[in-house]
Structure 1
Amino acid sequence: MKNSYLLLLLFFCSFSVIAQDYFPKNDGVKTESHIITAFTNAKIYVTPTQVIENGTLLIQDGKVLQAGSNVSIPKSATVVDLAGKSIYPSFIDPFSDFGIQAPKRNAGSWRSAPQYDAERKGYYWNDHIRPDVNPIADFTFDNKKATDLLKAGFGTVNTHMHDGIVRGNGLLVALNTKADNSIRVLDNRSAQYLSYKKSNTSKQAYPTSLMGSMALLRQMYHDADWYAKGNAKRTDLALEALLKNKNLVQIFHSGNKHNSIKTDAIGDEFGIQYVLVGDGTEYENINAMKATNASFIIPLDFPKAYDVSNPYAASVVELEAMKHWNQAPSNPKMLADKGIQFSFTMHDSKSGSEFMSNIQKAISYGLDKTKALEALTTVPAKILQQEDKVGTLQNGRQANFIITSGDIFDKKTVIYENWVQGNQHVFKDKSQKDLRGKYTFNVAGTQYDVDIAGTPEKLKATVMKDSTTLGSKISFSDDWLQLHFTTPDTTKTEFVRLTAPVQNVTYFSGRALLANGSETTFNATQKEAKKADGGKKSGKDSEKETPKMLPISYPNGAYGMASLPQQEDVLFKNATVWTNEKEGILKNTDVLVKDGKIARIGQNLNARGAKVIDATGKHLTAGIIDEHSHIAAFAINEAGHNSTAEVNMADVVNPEDVDIYRNLAGGVTTIQLLHGSANPIGGRSAILSLRWGRSADEMLFKGAPGFIKFALGENVKQSNWGDTETTRFPQTRMGVEQVFTDYFQRAKEYEAQKKSGNYRYDIEMETILEIINKERFVSCHSYVQSEINMLMKVAEKYGFNINTFTHILEGYKVADKMEKHGVGGSTFSDWWAYKYEVNDAIPYNAAIMHSQGVVVAINSDDGEMSRRLNQEAAKTVKYGGVSEEEAWKFVTLNPAKLLHIDDKVGSIKTGKQADLVLWTNHPMSIYAKAQTTMIEGTVYFDLERDAQLRKNIQNQRSELMNMMLLEKNKGMKTLAPKKKEKVHHHCDTVEF
């Protein structure tokens, strides 16, 4: 048996060599200068919507002369017959790094002391702003990568240096392997690129956070405007380049759907419409994407299914990740359905085959093929403002096109050639005949039925004799067929060997070598050609079902709702009502909520059309307010400077943080999202209403005043940051005092310049000036009495008051001075001894401050504690004898007063916002549960709904796991289950 196969292999190899010598391979059409080439009889996609069924394409000198169905072909033209084949414009990638190597970070150097100043002399004060980068100097045409892209159908890429926050301009490059850069580079200033990631070329610390990057961009635009008006005393090469690039297309790699919304808002602030590079999650917030009016560049990096065969391992995979696997392929369709202009990019794709496979997957999820082709051709050309050069096969455009065996989005379609600037790149022999079909082979008077299937490049043969299938192997190359099969005698392993040149697939003849060694002839007659549909069954059997997609929820993960809850009129009947007003605690009382406000309080109330909730035996309170929280944020600290008043926590609100839902389940309706304690002057706060399922902007508390975070103590002087953190001022507590004095003095001087009209707009100084002018309030992280005293004196020197000392575990030592200054205290109930400066903390702190007339609140500073602030308030009843009613105000009315929103929330009073919680028991009891939590009359948590959501989670997980198991059973690649660790932010959380 082995000897027979060896002989057969030798026979095939020797004959193949003879065949190739006798019939030399066609090297393809070669164009010379001014030669016209005519491609005839092809289906030509001049544009995605202009298709010529049997047309001619004329090209000359790398450009399209004409494309049409009645084209006059010059006699001197080289004619290429493309009967049965298709021509498409070559694809364009608008977001590439082709030919440009980004600098790599030197890992060792980043362990040294941080760098605070810029290294580049004559440029902007921040090294990560690099609009002056022109990658043409670093561009090297990569033939191997170009060939890979050409095979995937691409003819043009817009490449740039993937490094920095402002990255400089891009290059529009034709993937022409047969020319030099003077011809390939179509535009050496095709766009300006931006991102939120710092440059690897600099160790400059600032910014260390997403909000810092956003603040830096805003300040940069203000500085550029000031510079453009001729105010600078020296030349700034970075700002010069930024202004030079001002009218280029601005392409911003935002990173995710949340950042896309915020990035667009920054653009709107400065009159810039960015093109946004997304991440494939746009479908989860499609209306917000539409509202940006931006064009999007979308990667096609669809996630693989998880291997959930082990139920214990599978349990760690979050529902959100499982749903994204199921829903991500629908993203392009949803963008198209919403009328959002988008282009595809190979960015994040591992290969051209994966990229095309994902487009096909998107089409199976409902993406229209015309829209898919537009996303590869006309849309990127339009985004780059290069429609006159690339993207179509209209007259005068670059002769960039691909020749295919058929529909470009069909899995079986072959890309034969990719022409770029009129230069041919051959990948498959387009003259290869299609042998597929059913034949009768007559060999020395014996007939065999032969079914040839597979692809034109890789055929498979089934040879039958009298209903017996014979072992066979087929090869077809350079129009030569080689077929061998076993004889019907199963007692022997003998072969019949056939060889023939094929000029006509319907009938051909050749030489046969029989099992006995004799030589004869054979002929083959085609009985049935391959069907146009690839041999698939017709009718319903041939229709592929659109993959089942789970519905999107808000948010699109665990505890997300199928539709957003709406405001209702509600009547609570017979509750014990904790008013927090002079009326105190009212028994058997009704509360009517109408149009999001508390409309009436009394007994035996009626309201037509209102939803009635029987609250008998239950307690109704105002929603809990957490004065100091770090949940619902993508970042907490901007640690790059000792003052970061320019950053804004509103920029980094994470509306999908499950801690929002958990807080609602604990009766919390409002939080102050505070910057951390990395520096004496931190960032601006965001006061949030926990509207679960809504956008970040919709969570911002309406009409809330401005706040900012200050900090004192160990954190800001970096005594607990490590041995390398010894270069940033301040390093001592007395240095902390000097920081405040310096910045307040600078702000006063800035104000004088501002009044003169000759000033550079400075976001940081504007914010500090708001503090001095009592337009923004200070919440200050504090512990020891000496520093508390110090900051009150500094504030008084500059004519304003500190609003709140938060933590303030030594507040009991200076409560009388606090009352005199007019500052509130937001503290912990019983935290102590977790670091040196809290050694003197006592559980009576809140009660003592309260006894001295200080407005006292209990805060969490922790995503876990915030779920049980009702119980934390109860501790002040035990430690200090505070009454239950006053203790409850520590987590409701008092934090509302500290945040200056007590006119809206914090108590149950007619006309106030209906931020209410119905408790199943005494609200400070360990047995109490929040049955209903509402904000402005909209229920965002409900115990019955929660039970249903939990069932939905289990059902969806089960359904998705079954889908994933089917994927694995089909032989598809899967990912090992991986737990996503949730980051619990605290004051000292720093992102580098």
Structure 2
Amino acid sequence: MKLRLLVLALLGCVTFSSAQEYFPKNDAVKAENNNYTALTNAKIYVTPTEVVDGGTLLFRKGRVVAIGKSVDLPENTVVVDASGKTVYPSFIDVYSGFGVDKPEKAKSSGRSAEFDASREGFYWNDHIMPENDAVAKFEYDDLVAKTLREAGFGTVNSHIKDGIARGTGVLVSLNGDGNDGDRIIDDRSAQYFSFEKSIAKKQSYPTSLMGAMALLRQMYYDADWYAGGHIDSKDLSLEALNTNKDLVQIFKGGEKGNVIRADGIGDLFGIQYAIVGGGDEYERIDQVKATNAKLILPLNFPDAYDVSDPYASGYVNLEDMRHWNQAPANPKIVADNGISFSFTLHDLDSPADFKDRLMKAIAYGLPETKALEALTTVPAQILGRTEDIGSLKKGSYANFLVTSGPIFDKETILYENWVQGAKNVINDMTLKDIRGEYDLSLSGQSFKLSIKGEAGSPKAEVKQDTAKLESKFNYTDNWMSLSFTTIDGDKSYRLTGLVDPSSDNLSGKAVLPDGGETVFSAVKTSEFSKKDTKKEKDVPEMVAVTYPNVGYGYDAIPKPENILFKNATVWTSEDAGILENTDVLVKDGKISKIGQDLRAGGATTIDATGKHLTAGIIDEHSHIAALAINEAGQNSSAEVKMTDVVDPEDVGIYYALAGGVTSLQLLHGSANPIGGRSAILKLKWGRSADEMIYDNSPKFIKFALGENVKQSNWDSHSRFPQTRMGVEQVFMNYFQRAKEYEAKKKSGEPYRTDEEMETLVEILNGERFISCHSYVQSEINMMMKVAEHFGFTVNTFTHILEGYKVADKMAEHGVGAGTFSDWWAYKYEVNDAIPYNAAIMHNQGVTVAINSDDAEMIRRLNQEAGKIMKYGGLTEEEVWKMVTINPAKLLHLDDRTGSIKEGKDADLVLWSDYPLSVYAKAERTMIEGATYFDIEKDKQQREAVKKERNRLITMMLSEKSEGKKTQKPKQNKKETMHCETGVEVRSMK
């Protein structure tokens, strides 16, 4: 093995030959083959756009020597007449695992996953493995290579499909005749990355997508620091990462959001990844295009669901039904938008499925030239190997396909796949096409013989009169054999014969039921018709893409309107209080005027008589619209960002809008004392994640106290802290380290960029605010003392269900409160909670907000505020401020939103009734003047969803009736998240 690796390392860019010229020639008899080979009279695709009709392809020793209509052939040329055949460059897969086994999954020890790395001399995180080289684990398997060649592939770029930083790939020609020295084109072809942890490693961090993103960022910062010579010890991982930085960088993104996330990491460090997509790029094509990345697209179109059972069909959500219908158009839409892309076999069950999926993409409008480019020239460009592969230009490898006609014609036969000049027969080129209808005669009896299917592997059906007979048929090397049994099953016939290439008819020897022998003849009565199977529609029926592309998505993204609300009861959440019979003019996304008898001036007028107009509700503590809530792998995750995992397609956004919510703070969960950075969102349903995040957003972070963070009851015995005392020491330790980190930065000395410390320094400097999960008074006091020790103020205690016990101290410290109206006793540390909590804190001068922490409660925060009037006797204006201007103050957004005031954002809700009432409905919810929820439009959308589901179900039933493959219905339901979601670092089972 060591010798083999040494040879491969020395090869670099290998030139194909049967053996290296300096090898001793001990075989005195065997001579080297220096002949040329020429395919003549063929239609040759040099590239997808450069075609030579009646051309000649000349090659020698695995390389193209010449190509054209008139090529001088040397005397020692073997000539192959390819008249009537078409030649194409063979296909390339940039993202393969061929010849490189995925590591085995780590075995569980029955305890929580390890927190520390298992390796010495490498990076601190086990999932960062850029030192891995696929070539060291590569073993050529010609049985697997055969399946790839049969699908048209001649070259694959393989790598270890495991880990976040995965190491280098190996570029391999699928040449079964050579050895690794011949077939390995490049032993360091690219460097690979993903967001997925290694299955072979037990280290717990990261436990989330946002953790993986933070780890990648820190890895790059550390690589720069290492490259500067600032680390005395050897780090083989960082050394390899830096060594490989000039290679092609390939990132497995997956779904469309991860394509965008991966590109964002690349942009931060000046890296342009080629990104593996997920097949749903069409849903956010503008954002995908803006990445400027070359894409590697799987053709993993889902099969139709078997919706024949009405009960089971109810489990399939509209989003999944739509994706089945729309996904085949993804390549066309990507091509139409000028995005460069290649195809990969990744995510397909078998290479044999590839052509059908590709043909489906072409049926949905993908131009054939673009399809061919995606399999030849573009993957060669991605890999930077255009001189060697992807075309049949002079000097390139002689990797090509010989077909019976246009390669994307359903009836075209792939005859041969030549790899590095070595011929691989897929279907016998001399095999006669015998498909058609015949009159079969033998021993005085007549039968009907129908031969259909693929030309290279046809199927036969025998009938006597109109009855179908049981039969078996085989056709190989121009020999046919047929056996069939009569209707009653008591007589069987066996036929065999050599097909005459010059005749349309079939004949040969027959063995009769009694063992006697005779001859048979089958006279062709009609040619095989391609129309024998059901003709597919020219343009498959597609449902429209919506924004977002889920149920209740909009046909078009809402835009700001100029609107005049007339005669409303206006709850200002300002000193002006509640104004009766008042007009509010919305113009250019802002609240323009408030008063009576205002003129519309071209704005749309809405009669709000008898209705109530308020500022949009703001939820200071929410976990909707997220792909992950906790990064639970370490006791501090200050490096992770909720902005990385905003999910703009969470239907909880739409439901929140229906409850009058316009803004929220998306908080990290409570897995660790120091959690992740927050995302503050405007619920702009239909827009992208970036467009939902507040511009110039105030900086927040989640801290947590109590039972969740110490995890002592969750079998996490290897992680500190295990007690509430330990939680305090975590804070003291990390803030002391942050002070030292900042001191070093200010000293002018070189320093290692640490995202975690950078975040904590922002807290010390008052540039980032803490929202702290809290329950019991002892810990509330502790957190304020820690903050005062380091000279900053805690911004908000959230939950804070024992706040009434320390409300005076909270007011003195200057901290606000985000609490529940009447939740208590749902776990032990909440036993002392009381519903008067909010009122008591308010009366002590604490800014109090009522929040949800719940995807259901967020829809009725107006009612939650109303409860405070009962429990505490506050006024309607005071409690309404608890869901509008007070959370805006806590989030440092009160100059922009949270109240109805001229100049503020037009984040407004028109209520059908008194807004604190259980009977009140949000009729219209606006954000910056655009209507994101309309109760009348909602009724229309409900009906539209029903009709669309029925339409898609009908289409799926049609697929099943045509015999096409289907899958079982399944429920793809988004998890409802809370603070505790993903808190426990579970054992690896």
Q: TM above 0.5, one fold?
A: yes
**Is 1:129 matched up with 2:128?**
yes
**Is 1:909 matched up with 2:907?**
no
Aligned residue for 2:770?
778
Contact 1:483–1:499 (Cα < 8 Å) also in 2 = no
**Distance across 2 between alignment mates of 1:482 and 1:449:** 16
**Distance across 2 between alignment mates of 1:100 and 1:812:** 62
**Distance across 1 between alignment mates of 2:532 and 2:31:** 40
Superposed displacement of residue 440, structure 1: 9.2
Aligned residue for 1:930?
922
Structure 1 residues 840 and 66, CA, compared in 2 at 3 Å: closer, same or farther? same
Superposed displacement of residue 442, structure 1: 11
**Is 1:975 matched up with 2:967?**
yes
**Distance across 1 between alignment mates of 2:644 and 2:481:** 68
**Distance across 2 between alignment mates of 1:474 and 1:833:** 74
User: Which has the higher mean CA deviation after the structures are superposed, 843-852 or 432-441?
Assistant: 432-441
Which structure 2 residues correspond to residues 114-193 of structure 1 after superposition, within 5 A? 114-193=113-192
Contact 1:704–1:900 (Cα < 8 Å) also in 2 = no
Match of 1:572 among 536, 544, 565: 565
Superposed displacement of residue 181, structure 1: 0.9
Aligned residue for 2:502?
504
Letter in 1 for 2:944: N
Letter in 2 for 1:93: D
**Distance across 2 between alignment mates of 1:483 and 1:717:** 74
Letter in 2 for 1:33: N
Aligned residue for 1:315?
314
**Distance across 1 between alignment mates of 2:464 and 2:708:** 86
**Is 1:633 matched up with 2:633?**
no
**Is 1:618 matched up with 2:616?**
no
**Is 1:739 matched up with 2:730?**
yes
Contact 2:189–2:247 (Cα < 8 Å) also in 1 = yes
Aligned residue for 1:100?
100
Letter in 1 for 2:261: K
Aligned residue for 1:656?
649
Which structure 2 residues correspond to residues 294-333 of structure 1 after superposition, within 5 A? 294-333=293-332
3-state SS of paired residue (1:964):
helix
Structure 1 residues 956 and 527, CA, compared in 2 at 3 Å: closer, same or farther? closer
Letter in 1 for 2:316: V
Superposed displacement of residue 289, structure 1: 0.7
Match of 2:852 among 851, 860, 863: 860
**Distance across 1 between alignment mates of 2:484 and 2:802:** 93
User: Which has the higher mean CA deviation after the structures are superposed, 121-130 or 517-526?
Assistant: 517-526
Structure 1 residues 884 and 507, CA, compared in 2 at 3 Å: closer, same or farther? closer
**Distance across 1 between alignment mates of 2:873 and 2:711:** 38
Superposed displacement of residue 253, structure 1: 0.7
Superposed displacement of residue 369, structure 1: 1.1
Aligned residue for 1:986?
978
Structure 1 residues 521 and 807, CA, compared in 2 at 3 Å: closer, same or farther? closer
Q: Deviations 1:729-756 (Å, cap 9, x if unpaired)?
A: 2212121111111111111111111012
**Distance across 2 between alignment mates of 1:498 and 1:104:** 50
Superposed displacement of residue 446, structure 1: 12
3-state SS of paired residue (1:41):
strand
Contact 2:147–2:352 (Cα < 8 Å) also in 1 = no
Aligned residue for 2:363?
364
Contact 1:89–1:393 (Cα < 8 Å) also in 2 = yes
Superposed displacement of residue 370, structure 1: 1.2
**Distance across 1 between alignment mates of 2:762 and 2:515:** 101
**Distance across 2 between alignment mates of 1:850 and 1:974:** 59
Contact 2:106–2:202 (Cα < 8 Å) also in 1 = no
3-state SS of paired residue (1:424):
coil
**Distance across 1 between alignment mates of 2:103 and 2:511:** 63
Which structure 2 residues correspond to residues 254-653 of structure 1 after superposition, within 5 A? 254-436=253-435, 454-459=453-458, 477-480=476-479, 499=497, 502-505=500-503, 534=530, 544-653=537-646
Match of 1:701 among 694, 699, 704: 694
Which structure 2 residues correspond to residues 705-854 of structure 1 after superposition, within 5 A? 705-720=698-713, 722=714, 724-757=715-748, 758-854=750-846
Structure 1 residues 79 and 703, CA, compared in 2 at 3 Å: closer, same or farther? same
**Distance across 2 between alignment mates of 1:519 and 1:210:** 72
Superposed displacement of residue 912, structure 1: 0.5
3-state SS of paired residue (2:47):
coil
Contact 2:495–2:508 (Cα < 8 Å) also in 1 = no
3-state SS of paired residue (2:145):
helix
Contact 1:500–1:511 (Cα < 8 Å) also in 2 = no
**Distance across 1 between alignment mates of 2:338 and 2:672:** 45
Q: Deviations 1:226-260 (Å, cap 9, x if unpaired)?
A: 22122222221111101001111111111211111
Q: Deviations 1:629-687 (Å, cap 9, x if unpaired)?
A: 01100111111111111111000000000000000000000000011111111111110
Superposed displacement of residue 153, structure 1: 1.0
**Distance across 1 between alignment mates of 2:237 and 2:602:** 63
**Distance across 2 between alignment mates of 1:501 and 1:971:** 32
TM-score (norm 2): 0.92
Letter in 2 for 1:375: A
Contact 2:493–2:510 (Cα < 8 Å) also in 1 = no
| Sequence identity (%) | 60
User: Which has the higher mean CA deviation after the structures are superposed, 633-642 or 451-460?
Assistant: 451-460
**Distance across 2 between alignment mates of 1:861 and 1:464:** 70
Match of 2:935 among 943, 947, 953: 943
Structure 1 residues 485 and 129, CA, compared in 2 at 3 Å: closer, same or farther? closer
TM-score (norm 1): 0.91
Q: Deviations 1:98-124 (Å, cap 9, x if unpaired)?
A: 111121223423x32432222211111
Superposed displacement of residue 542, structure 1: 7.1
Aligned residue for 1:198?
197
Letter in 2 for 1:222: Y
**Distance across 2 between alignment mates of 1:827 and 1:841:** 11
Aligned residue for 1:71?
71
**Distance across 2 between alignment mates of 1:704 and 1:829:** 28
RMSD: 2.9
Contact 1:87–1:401 (Cα < 8 Å) also in 2 = yes
User: Which has the higher mean CA deviation after the structures are superposed, 327-336 or 756-765?
Assistant: 756-765
**Distance across 1 between alignment mates of 2:532 and 2:51:** 26
**Distance across 2 between alignment mates of 1:374 and 1:671:** 46
3-state SS of paired residue (2:423):
strand
Structure 1 residues 370 and 218, CA, compared in 2 at 3 Å: closer, same or farther? same
Superposed displacement of residue 515, structure 1: 11
Structure 1 residues 437 and 882, CA, compared in 2 at 3 Å: closer, same or farther? closer
Superposed displacement of residue 462, structure 1: 8.6
Aligned residue for 2:659?
666
**Distance across 2 between alignment mates of 1:732 and 1:518:** 92
Superposed displacement of residue 700, structure 1: 0.4
Contact 2:774–2:797 (Cα < 8 Å) also in 1 = yes
Superposed displacement of residue 378, structure 1: 1.1
For structure 1, list consecutive stretches of 5 or more residues without a partner in the other structure. 1-29
**Is 1:896 matched up with 2:895?**
no
Aligned residue for 1:873?
865
3-state SS of paired residue (2:725):
helix
Letter in 2 for 1:48: P
Contact 2:479–2:496 (Cα < 8 Å) also in 1 = no
**Distance across 1 between alignment mates of 2:526 and 2:275:** 52
Aligned residue for 2:948?
956
Aligned residue for 2:40?
40
Structure 1 residues 599 and 33, CA, compared in 2 at 3 Å: closer, same or farther? same
Aligned residue for 1:7?
none
Structure 1 residues 603 and 470, CA, compared in 2 at 3 Å: closer, same or farther? closer
Letter in 2 for 1:301: N
For structure 2, list consecutive stretches of 5 or more residues without a partner in the other structure. 1-29
Contact 1:60–1:422 (Cα < 8 Å) also in 2 = yes
**Distance across 1 between alignment mates of 2:794 and 2:488:** 98
3-state SS of paired residue (2:210):
helix
